Amino acid sequence: MTYPQRRPRRLRTTAAMRRLVREVRPQPAQLVLPVFVREGLQGSRPIESLPGVSQHGLDALPDLVDEAVAAGVGGIMLFAIPEVRDSTGSQACAADGILNRAIERAAATASGRLVVMADLCLDEFTDHGHCGILTAEGAVDNDATLAVYAQMGVAQARAGADVLGLSGMMDGQVQAVRAALDAEGLVDTSILAYSAKYASAAYGPFRDAVESQLDGDRKTYQMDPANRREGLVEASLDETEGADFLMVKPALPYLDVLADVAQASAVPVAAYHVSGEYSQIEAAAERGWIDRRTAHLEAITSIVRAGGDIVLTYAALDAAQWLKEDS
């Protein structure tokens, strides 16, 4: 009988051995927790389609920030749900709008202990649910939207956001917001560009969370899921325009795109394990079909293995604890 000369299984014999030779080691500081802040809400309210995730009132936000700090996560990403929406999303730029008030409170509580990020997009603030200003014919007007993004970016930076998450997928959005920030002397505010954001089926629970009023779809500005090379084109443009971070969204169906972007980029690269991806794990775990902890950690590990430096995940608080226990 001929025996194998190499036995890779020798490096899998014990938990200690597997830990010793592990190639990828995600850390809590790489995780970012998405946070939903709802105007007029007291306390917190669970989101049915996002098990374990809630909308929070401004009063509940400081405790959540403190919890995130204690968990050791790297940052939070703030999203807001206003009580009143209009066709131009005017509350997005208002200093007393719910998102900018949430930024102020989160930044004051965090006091530099974690990174406060804010979503910069109009979909949460428009009564039609699109990410930009509409033409008379109902199409999203790219350049008119850029002017609003610029105002929104300045308002968020003044409120205290460390990072602006440009998620609207408008052409030239990074350049427009960077120019507006620099013109106002807000040169230390960073830009996270959602560079390769696909028109995915996995955003449904998120739209529940922000009470989206979307009419139609976003296929004219979010990317076609069939396109890989285009993701690298978008990322390259955003980096050239001055983005400090790049994003691929969703994460798991687009690990090939994430790997492409990470290999080519000179700046940190993030990936968003989006609501539908998260909820699939939660629903299957609730039914006993998979192990929740193992599935979430496997997802995070695969994202980091593909090249993600930063992972946005709704499981960030639990995952941070699990990673500490496994280290």
Q: Which residues are catalytic?
A: 197, 249
The span from the CA of 155 to the CA of 229, in Å, is 34
Say if CB 130 and CB 86 are below 8 A apart: no
Q: Where are the beta strands (DSSP E) in 131-178?
A: 163-166
- Measuring CA to CA, how many Å separate 19 from each of 13, 37, 139, 148, 173? 11, 38, 52, 49, 43
The span from the CA of 170 to the CA of 173, in Å, is 6
- Measuring CA to CA, how many Å separate 132 from each of 136, 142, 152, 169, 217? 13, 7, 12, 10, 13
Tokens of 266: 């000179």
Say if CB 204 and CB 255 are below 8 A apart: no
The span from the CA of 173 to the CA of 168, in Å, is 8
The rounded Cα 153 to chain-centroid distance in angstroms is 17
The span from the CA of 182 to the CA of 190, in Å, is 11
Q: For the residues of 170-238, what is the DSSP string, one character each? A: -TTHHHHHHHHHHHTT-TT-EEEEEEEEB--GGGHHHHHHTT----S--TTTSBPTT-SHHHHHHHHHH
The span from the CA of 180 to the CA of 97, in Å, is 20
User: Largest Cα–Cα distance of the chain, in whole Å?
Assistant: 78
The span from the CA of 327 to the CA of 317, in Å, is 16
